Structure 1
Amino acid sequence: MSTTPNDRVVETAAKSLDDDDVVLEMIRACAHKNQCYSCGEDESVVDEKIVNDECAYTFASPFVLSRGEKEQQCRGIFVNMKTRRAVSRKYLRLDSRKTNRQGLYLERRFRKVFDDVKIEEEEKEEKRKSTPITKLGVGIHGGFEEEDFAKPKYTVAKDERIVVYDCERDVILAGMKVDFEKDRQTEEARNDDASSKLPTVVFECAKTISKKEGYDAKKDVMASWEDVPNVSKYSENLVQVKSEGKTRISPDPKTWKCFETGETTNLWLNLSDGVIGSGRRHFDGSGGNGSALRHYQSEKTKGNEYPLVVKLGTITPDGADVYSYAADEDDAVTDPKLAEHLKFWGIDIMSQVKTEQTMNEIQIDKNRTFEFDAITEHGKDLREVSGEGLIGLRNLGNSCYVNSVVQVMKECANVRKVFADEKQKEHVFETGNSGGAKAIENDPLAQTVKLFSSLTSSEYARTSEELSDETQKKQDLRGLAEGLAPRMFKRLIGEGHAEFSTARQQDAREFFEHCLEKFDKWQKDGVRESRFFANEHAGGVALSSISSEFQFETLARTVCGSSHKAKFEVGSHTVLDMCVPREKAVKIETTKEELETAASKRQKKEGEEDAPAPLEVPFATCLETFTQESIIEDYYSPAIQGKTFATRKTFLKTCPNVLALCVNRYYVGDDWRPTKMDCVVNVPERLNIESMRVDEKKDVDAYELLPEDVDMDANAAANAAPAANEITADDAIVAQLVAMGFSENGSKRAAIATSNASAEVAMEWVFAHSEDPDFNDPPVTTMDLSKDVDKTNSVSVEAISQLESMGFSSAASRTALRVSGNSNSVEAACEWLFANMDNIDDACAKAERELEEKEQAGGDASSTNDTTTNEIIDGKGEYELFGVVSHMGSNTACGHYVAHVKKNNQWILFNDEKVAVSESPPLGLGYLYFFRRL
């Protein structure tokens, strides 16, 4: 029996692993067997993407622990020189097996080398104290303090080897150290460095992997919270007119005053006609009287478009605060010709000195004195903690919304059961597609399991000794470059989504619901593909879907004002929305001192007024708004076959295991923009919502039902409920939008246009269409896509038409609709199409094959014999608070999120990487609250 060169090398290696010639022969043989290509010279034969600094299965990085024998427990990683993906030692065998016994890897072990850490930290602390806050952000230059982002400087010592790995025996047979900084062609290198004799193709491949910029090297910068103003379209051709007697503005600030009230602060100069007016009043009562806006509106009625105003006192050579009152902008803007426009009024921008706070500075001060300090417990020496469930997450740049939601969701029992169980994790990894780490990197189920299992284990926790030793703590001895960074998870959870796929800040509530939708899908796919360990056993218990823990039903009762007959509608939700009635806000007097922090008790600036006392809206009042009756005008009643009024009231029909409650502090201002109320809503730690539950006898049985099908004459039919294949506005969605200040017709239009998806989706439509000329006109009903179906493939013909209008082929559209499991879900189909855009033909062919196989097996695209349960769970409505996601900033599209989680009867603050015991959890300033049933 003949033996291969590789077999002979393995036999020889057992005798002389220290022999460089033997190691070289082993590497050559392994490279020949595995066809290792040089990704530096032949890009056509390999995937351009290289992941060289994070294991696909774990959060292991090239960095090793920095002391003693623990160096042998290296967290270094091994980069597969065929797939160019990294794995930890623990999953080296699995990666090799999944890549056809690949045996050639680049081992990477890094070590941080610190120098004079204590001196450096003292210098940084002094510098930090002396640096004024000028930017609305955390961890950015000029932003709020965040110790976690003030990392000590260090150099990186690298140790890299090309190793030969035997998958069968799970051993590293040999390795050769390589230094990619040296010139291997010199005479000295050829004589003294055995790696200079490595095959060029192997060396160049390893060098390219080593030199490739990794995830960490890309400098995931913590983004600013600020909204970046757009350039005003009115700037280029701005009309400027000098009125009689007004040719210039006085350079003396003492002479500036509002033309209407005589106020001398918060003044805005209209760049078109030179009128000085007062700015708008803030929600807390501070600010101006709005005369500048009224002047613009007055001129608008005369046919004059004078939209741009600049805040006096903020003008410097670097710019100024500029605002556009134009309806199609109505926002802070940038004026590229500001110097020219100011010069028209005799103002030399180069000689101006700032005397007033900019709008950004005003917001910074508000955050410093109230919201930011209270939520992050700024100024307090919080005790850091670490352990199972106490692992922080790195901010990838506006990813705090991801971190905060994940930190709370990991506390839910079903999330842990599905995504954090150790046996489940290993089985998910084992059943992944071929390709090893390369496949796992793009496997959403695997990456979700990776994230939650890491957060709930102690693998990445600091020891008590490390936490107590300040020097060690600053050196981050966990072996990670910068902490756990959920990059792969964030990419996959946002893939195909217009917002979550970007680096912009997002609404944590919307992301939470997006997570539930994705988790259910990934879990369902995993169960169908037998990727969960429980399904390997006959009669195994089915896994409940993640969303089922949060789902509850509401019952909306609409009572005709004339006949007193009622109709009832059941709705399914995962978040209980609580509106905050602005008119109920009162100033806090007795608790003001309790809310102040050391940072807010700073020495006031000269002339600075006391910050207004924070406002409070009682939580009981918010509960009342949910169940109180609302009036529906112009209601068509089938009982009287005519128009009348109706009352509407919503009850809880069921109570979930985990109650997610959203305190909606956002309202639509006079400018149609979402605005945040700076107020306290003291949500209790114990909550009983049984009073909100429907009483079947009193609330349902006591009413006679409104008729559904009645004979009507032609005139009545014209005003009656539309035919079954038409969409009418959901009364519940309309009521919520009307309560926020939108017109009834506009709200109905939004509900119909979004197919009654939800109030949040309808609100997005309103923001995009509020300036449409027909926005407030009576709505026109639209066809329900689900009624017109292609019988052959059970998909909506109208949905296919919509997708075709977006540029997709008919065949791809039909496949996407079938794969989505909903024949008329254009949104779900779009998400699938965009996710597979790079190779749409192959993706469609594969999907069709899978669909055909399922149909032949007696299933279809949307249901299988082995699936998750998604029943509505009901129980007693008594809860205890265990998690809070809080938001700081003017609206949910900017700002910063943190989470507070209650563990072992104490509250823990999760502020990205920082995990510490909370002394004063800001339960009155939260955005999302999570309760578990008692």
Structure 2
Amino acid sequence: MRQYGVDCLNLYERLMAYFMWEWSKIQEDGADLENAYGPGMTGLINIGSSCYMNSVLQSFLLVPDFCNRFGGANALRTMHALPPADMYMDFNGQLARLVHAMLEGEYSLPDNPHNGIKPTQFKRIAGAGHPEFKTARQQDAEEYVRYLIEKITAKTPAGVSDPMLAFKFHKEERLQDLNTRKVRYTQNEETVLAIPVLKSSLHAIPDQEGRFSACFKECLANVFEPEQIEDRYLKSVTFKSFPDFLIVQLQKFTVDEATYQQKKLDIDLAVPDVLDLSQYRSLGGLQPGETPMEENEPIVVAAPKLDVDENIVAQLEGMGFSRNAALKAALDTKTQGLEAAAEWLMLRLDDPSINDPPVNPAGPVNVNPGSSVDNESVSMLEGFGFTKHQARFALHKFNFDANMAAEWLFMHIDEVPPEPAAEEKPVAHQETSTGVNQMRDGNGKYHLVGFISHMGSSPHSGHYVAHLLRGNRWVLYNDEKVAYSQNPPKQLAYLYLYRRQ
């Protein structure tokens, strides 16, 4: 790599120095931390890259609904109602067993050599059937938050209040056709407020090479700023309701535009202890003077133009290849040059579809609720964390090419228009008329009560810890180690937990 001007040794040393600094800062190394004992201070032993799960479970203990459902008398009732043979494989039973032990404090006593709990069986049951969470690999804590919330909701018996309603809120999306001026309002259920980091808000930190600070208010405001899509639509989002507890994700992990690999932004973010979101509340749907779109009116978005080097295409055509074949080669090899494109074609001379049009034809794309898409491709994209609507939209956009659809979604997820009304999914509180599981709402003022931090270069490696506000003191939960924090590194966190004031 040196011939290209890349000093690998120097780069490695810089990265290691940063990672060591980050680990030391987040885990408060060097500080004489006082161990914390008692109910709610029980550590969870790392059973092999399980720190992401441990941090999420500890954070959920701040939510009264969660503790009431799976702790105390309700936990005992849940466990006693199950036959011993069923208890071992029952999700609710294992979660109640774990939470009850964490809250009781029996495994969080001074001078006790047996402090801490191994959540082995819960991890096995909770991750069963999931391609990633069933493994021993490190995972993204934000993905696990969403997964666990969905799992708990799905396993909540009829007539029982869903404890995850504490996190859920409705997001309202407004889409306006700039040609007809008609509008469409849709509601989507959400559990996490994702905040992208704006490049324009980054400022270099003096004496810290490669590190930046960002303005939280600017990044937050950008989420609710109207966005123009394909010169045809204007999209904006607001809160239709405010949850009791708001989970905020700072999107530190981005996709490198050159390699499509995840990378972590090395930033400090001055996150406020008090967060007022009142200004971002919805006005209440269709407003006076607005004309709604027809219920089944399709959303039409132009397909992207082919981004190819026409010089390479022309040279390949001069060699005797068809234009379609030349376009495919130039698209697939991108900026690697003529030789790479020619080699790409030589390796595919026996491909009967080599002269078919590229999978990215110019022209408008109609996304209709009833249009047919390969279920296997949709499932694959859903496995990456995209919704069914996002997957279908991208597959239509790229003529059902799943690979190109995935690449586009990673880079342009915000360009997916709102889900049409015909595709709206019934939300939890519509499933019952008893009011047990109605969506909550209240004022939009919040106070920071917890955060989860990540150390490392990828969400699927490294280490996670949680800092939680217990009473008036911050507590560090680092797997089985639980101690009172002296200097909670709020500016370095990945996920934040706010409680309504």
Range into which the TM-score falls when normalised by the shorter chain? 0.7 to 0.9
Check whether the contact 1:754–1:761 (CA below 8 A) recurs between aligned residues. no
User: How far apart are 1:927 and its partner, in Å?
Assistant: 1.0
SS at match of 2:142: helix
Alignment map for 1:550-629 (pairs within 5 Å): 550-589=167-206, 611-612=208-209, 614-629=211-226
SS at match of 2:156: helix
1:448 is aligned to 2:95: yes
Distance 1:396 1:694 in 2: 44
In structure 1, what is the equivalent of residue 75 of structure 2? 425
Check whether the contact 1:690–1:877 (CA below 8 A) recurs between aligned residues. yes
SS at match of 2:230: strand
Distance 2:449 2:36 in 1: 18
Distance 2:174 2:14 in 1: 45
1:547 is aligned to 2:154: no
Distance 1:544 1:870 in 2: 6
Cα displacement string for residues 697-737 of structure 1 (whole angstroms, at most 9, x for unaligned residues):
8x8334222334689xxxxxx96855542279xxxxxxxxx
Check whether the contact 2:108–2:116 (CA below 8 A) recurs between aligned residues. no
Check whether the contact 1:751–1:762 (CA below 8 A) recurs between aligned residues. no
Cα displacement string for residues 392-437 of structure 1 (whole angstroms, at most 9, x for unaligned residues):
111111000010000000110100110012x22222222112xx3x
In structure 2, what is the equivalent of residue 658 of structure 1? 245
In structure 2, what is the equivalent of residue 377 of structure 1? 28
User: How far apart are 1:771 and its partner, in Å?
Assistant: 5.6
1:516 is aligned to 2:149: yes
Check whether the contact 2:79–2:97 (CA below 8 A) recurs between aligned residues. no
Identify if the C-alpha distance between structure 1 residues 701 and 631 changes in structure 2 by more than 3 Å, giving closer, same or farther: same
Alignment map for 1:874-889 (pairs within 5 Å): 874-889=441-456
In structure 2, what is the equivalent of residue 496 of structure 1? 129
Identify if the C-alpha distance between structure 1 residues 611 and 755 changes in structure 2 by more than 3 Å, giving closer, same or farther: closer
Distance 2:179 2:216 in 1: 34
Identify if the C-alpha distance between structure 1 residues 445 and 888 changes in structure 2 by more than 3 Å, giving closer, same or farther: same
Check whether the contact 1:544–1:868 (CA below 8 A) recurs between aligned residues. no
SS at match of 1:401: helix
| 1:689 counterpart letter in structure 2 | L
Distance 1:505 1:565 in 2: 46
Alignment map for 1:787-802 (pairs within 5 Å): none
Consecutive unaligned residues of structure 2, counting only runs of 5 or more, are 299-362, 410-418
Distance 1:864 1:710 in 2: 27
| 1:364 counterpart letter in structure 2 | M
In structure 1, what is the equivalent of residue 5 of structure 2? 278
1:873 is aligned to 2:440: yes
User: How far apart are 1:441 and its partner, in Å?
Assistant: 2.0
User: How far apart are 1:484 and its partner, in Å?
Assistant: 1.0
Identify if the C-alpha distance between structure 1 residues 754 and 549 changes in structure 2 by more than 3 Å, giving closer, same or farther: closer
In structure 2, what is the equivalent of residue 367 of structure 1? 19
Identify if the C-alpha distance between structure 1 residues 723 and 776 changes in structure 2 by more than 3 Å, giving closer, same or farther: closer
Check whether the contact 1:886–1:899 (CA below 8 A) recurs between aligned residues. yes
Using the aligned pairs only, state the percent identity: 27
Which one of the candidate residues 37, 51, 57 is aligned to 1:400?
Answer: 51
Cα displacement string for residues 752-784 of structure 1 (whole angstroms, at most 9, x for unaligned residues):
999843779999xx9xx786599779xxxxxx9
Check whether the contact 1:560–1:647 (CA below 8 A) recurs between aligned residues. yes
Identify if the C-alpha distance between structure 1 residues 867 and 357 changes in structure 2 by more than 3 Å, giving closer, same or farther: farther
Identify if the C-alpha distance between structure 1 residues 490 and 649 changes in structure 2 by more than 3 Å, giving closer, same or farther: same
SS at match of 2:450: strand
1:703 is aligned to 2:290: yes
Identify if the C-alpha distance between structure 1 residues 671 and 387 changes in structure 2 by more than 3 Å, giving closer, same or farther: same
Distance 1:509 1:753 in 2: 13
SS at match of 2:246: strand
SS at match of 1:924: helix
Identify if the C-alpha distance between structure 1 residues 553 and 702 changes in structure 2 by more than 3 Å, giving closer, same or farther: farther
In structure 2, what is the equivalent of residue 677 of structure 1? 265
Identify if the C-alpha distance between structure 1 residues 612 and 687 changes in structure 2 by more than 3 Å, giving closer, same or farther: same
Check whether the contact 2:195–2:249 (CA below 8 A) recurs between aligned residues. yes
User: How far apart are 1:868 and its partner, in Å?
Assistant: 9.0
Cα displacement string for residues 144-199 of structure 1 (whole angstroms, at most 9, x for unaligned residues):
xxxxxxxxxxxxxxxxxxxxxxxxxxxxxxxxxxxxxxxxxxxxxxxxxxxxxxxx
Check whether the contact 2:453–2:493 (CA below 8 A) recurs between aligned residues. yes
Consecutive unaligned residues of structure 1, counting only runs of 5 or more, are 1-267, 270-275, 280-287, 289-310, 312-355, 467-476, 529-541, 590-609, 635-644, 712-717, 729-746, 778-783, 788-821, 823-862
Distance 2:178 2:170 in 1: 25
Which one of the candidate residues 739, 757, 761 is aligned to 2:388?
Answer: 757
SS at match of 1:704: coil
User: How far apart are 1:505 and its partner, in Å?
Assistant: 0.2
- The TM-score with structure 2 as length reference comes to 0.74
Identify if the C-alpha distance between structure 1 residues 517 and 720 changes in structure 2 by more than 3 Å, giving closer, same or farther: closer
| 1:880 counterpart letter in structure 2 | H
In structure 2, what is the equivalent of residue 687 of structure 1? 275
Which structure is higher in RCO with an 8 Å CA cutoff and minimum separation 6?
Answer: 2
Distance 1:566 1:380 in 2: 56
1:630 is aligned to 2:280: no
Identify if the C-alpha distance between structure 1 residues 392 and 625 changes in structure 2 by more than 3 Å, giving closer, same or farther: same
Distance 2:390 2:364 in 1: 25
Check whether the contact 1:754–1:762 (CA below 8 A) recurs between aligned residues. no
Distance 2:250 2:439 in 1: 23
Identify if the C-alpha distance between structure 1 residues 520 and 706 changes in structure 2 by more than 3 Å, giving closer, same or farther: closer
Distance 1:773 1:929 in 2: 31
Cα displacement string for residues 772-815 of structure 1 (whole angstroms, at most 9, x for unaligned residues):
599779xxxxxx9xx9xxxxxxxxxxxxxxxxxxxxxxxxxxxx
Which one of the candidate residues 902, 918, 921 is aligned to 2:488?
Answer: 921
SS at match of 2:15: helix
Distance 2:390 2:365 in 1: 24
User: How far apart are 1:864 and its partner, in Å?
Assistant: 10
Check whether the contact 2:252–2:265 (CA below 8 A) recurs between aligned residues. yes
SS at match of 1:388: coil
User: How far apart are 1:676 and its partner, in Å?
Assistant: 0.8
| 1:424 counterpart letter in structure 2 | N
When Rg is computed on C-alpha atoms for both structures, the one with the higher figure is 1
Distance 2:392 2:264 in 1: 19
User: How far apart are 1:671 and its partner, in Å?
Assistant: 1.2
In structure 1, what is the equivalent of residue 329 of structure 2? none
